[in-house]
Structure formats: structure tokens, C-alpha cells
Amino acid sequence: MNGNPTYHAIALVAGTLLVLPLAVAVLAGWTPRGLQGRRPAARPYAWALLCLYALMPLNAVPRMMDAAPGVVTACTASGFGLIGAACSFFVRAGLLHRRTNRTAGT
């Protein structure tokens, strides 16, 4: 059920190198060029990315440790809460962008 731990470790390292630095940089105040027009909405995007990043170790670590099937299933099921949180942050970012465009007259 758990598969090869090497593949989970590779995916976790790749996700850490690709997703985590961007989210942390945005939370620290940097705004990527693609989000310059959505600057007020950049922080909710970063929080959404962090929620999606949290899914990676939540699913990979129990599988890498060859945990019991019930533990793996519980961790996978709890990931739906993080997906819901990420969706709410994406909606918040969209609403913030819409609100700033309305007040700016765009």
C-alpha cells in the first residue's frame, strides 16, 4: 500500500524546493512579477500554497515510515481539511483582488 519510500522522499524534496520557498518569500514581503497587479491578494495565495505544501509531508511521511494502513488513511483523509483551507484562501485572494480593482476604478 505504501509503495517505495524513495519515490516519496524524492517527491517531498522536490515539493519542498519548488513550493515552500515561494510561499515563504511572499509572506516575507516579496511579490512575484506575475502577482504585481494582485499585490494585496499575494498573502492569501502564499497561505494557500503553504496549505497545499502541508499535504506533501502529511501524505509522504507515514508512507515512508511504512505506517499501518489506518494511519495512512487517516493522514490522507485529514488532507481534505487542508485542501478546503487552500480553497478558502484562493477564494479570499480572488475577493481581495476584486475589491481592490473596484475601489481603484479598474
Give ∠ CA 5-63-10 in degrees, rounded to 5.
40
Mean pLDDT within 42-68? 94
The pLDDT tens digits of the residues spanning 69-80 come to 999 999 999 999
Cell 502529511: give the residue: 58
Whether 34 shows a pLDDT value over 90: the answer reads no
